[in-house]
Amino acid sequence: MCATCGCGESDVRVEGRTEPRHAHPHAHPSTDGPATIDIETALLAKNDHLAAHNRAWLAERGILALNLMSSPGSGKTSLLCRTITELAPVRPVAVIEGDQETHIDAEKIRATGAPAVQINTGAGCHLDADMLARGLVELAPATGSLVFIENVGNLVCPALFDLGEAARVVVVSVTEGEDKPLKYPQMFAAADLVVINKIDLLPYVDVDLQRLVAHCRQVRPAVSVLPLSVSTGEGMAAWRDWLEESPSPADSPAAKS
C-alpha cells in the first residue's frame, strides 16, 4: 500500500524483452527504520534516493529520459507513436509504458518499431523510481537514446514521485477544458513543458486556448506551453525542436546535485 496516496502497489508487473539483462547498478535500501519516522516522508525519501541512482545511471549512458504525465485520454500514446516515427531516422527512441492493466499501449509503441516495456501497476496509480529501475533493466536502452516514460493516466499522484527523469512533460487536451491546471496545480507546477493536444478540435469545444495557456502559467509562470495536434501535425515541428533543445542528462542541474 502506498502511504502517500493510498493506492495499492503489491501487484507490479514489468513485461518486455525475454532475454536476460544485467541488474540495475544500485542496491535497494532496507525499508526498516525507526518507528518515529513519518511513513510518508520515509517513502518519498526512499523514492528520491532511488531516483538519484536512476538519474546517474541514465547520465552515464547519455540517455535522455522524459516523464510524460496526463489524465487518461489526453493523447500521450498517439503523441509518442507519431514522435517515434518522425525521430527514428535521427535518434534511437525507446518507451516505458505505465498502466494499471493490459499491454495495449506497449503494443502500439512496438508497432512503430521502437522497443517498449510495459509496467502494469495493478491497483497502483503512478510509477515510482523502483519501477523505472526495473523497467530500464528490461528495456536496456541504447547509449545516447531518448527514453519516454509514459506514466499512469492520473493528474494527482505521478507529480509526487521523482523517477530520475531529466524533464517532466504534462499533456492536456483541449477536450478536458480550461480549468485542469487550476484544479490540479501540483501536477502543472511540476511541469517543465505543458503540451496542449488536440487543438484541431478547438472549433468544436467550448475552450479558449489562450485562457488555458494563462491558467498553466498562473500555476507555473515560467513554464513552456506548446499547443499541437497529433492528428494534423500542427505544432509537431516545435515539439521536435523542444526535444532537440532539451538538456543532456549530464548537463541537467539534477544530475549535478
Amino acid identity, residue 17? R
Q: In this structure, is residue 128 part of a structural domain?
A: yes
Percentage, residues of the chain above pLDDT 70: 81
d(CA 187, CA 185) in angstroms, rounded, equals 5
| Local confidence band at 21 (pLDDT 50, 70, 90 cut-offs) | very low
Q: In this structure, is residue 145 part of a structural domain?
A: yes
For residue 210, count other CB atoms closer than 10 A to its CB: 9
State the chain's mean pLDDT as an integer: 87
Predicted structure pTM score: 0.84
C-alpha cell at 226: 506548446
- For helices 39-60 and 129-139, what crossing angle results, to 10°? 30
Q: In this structure, is residue 5 part of a structural domain?
A: no
Cβ contacts of residue 110 below 8 Å, gap of 6+?
116
Q: In this structure, is residue 171 part of a structural domain?
A: yes
Domain total of the chain: 1
Q: Give pLDDT tens digits for 53-79.
A: 999 999 999 999 999 999 999 999 999
Q: In this structure, is residue 4 part of a structural domain?
A: no
Percentage, residues of the chain above pLDDT 90: 76
Using the predicted structure, report yes or no on whether residue 23 has a pLDDT greater than 70. no
Structural domain for 119, as ranges? 35-256
- Strands of the chain (E only): list them: 13-15, 64-70, 93-99, 116-120, 146-150, 167-173, 193-197, 224-227
Using the predicted structure, report yes or no on whether residue 17 has a pLDDT greater than 60. no
CATH number at residue 59: 3.40.50.300
- List beta partners, residue 227: 196
Measured in whole angstroms, the distance separating CA 190 from the mean position of its chain's CA atoms is: 12
- Strands of 176-229 (E only): list them: 193-197, 224-227
Measured in whole angstroms, the distance separating CA 251 from the mean position of its chain's CA atoms is: 19
- What is residue 256's predicted lDDT score, i.e. its pLDDT? 42
| Local confidence band at 41 (pLDDT 50, 70, 90 cut-offs) | confident
Q: Give pLDDT tens digits for 122-172.
A: 988 999 999 999 999 999 999 999 999 999 999 999 999 999 999 999 999
Q: In this structure, is residue 1 part of a structural domain?
A: no
Q: In this structure, is residue 94 part of a structural domain?
A: yes
Place of cell 515560467: 222
Q: List Cβ<8 Å contacts ≥24 apart for 98-101.
A: 98/126, 98/127, 98/131, 98/149, 98/150, 98/151, 98/152, 99/152, 99/153, 100/124, 100/125, 100/152
| Local confidence band at 249 (pLDDT 50, 70, 90 cut-offs) | low
Q: In this structure, is residue 241 part of a structural domain?
A: yes
DSSP 8-state symbol, 24? P
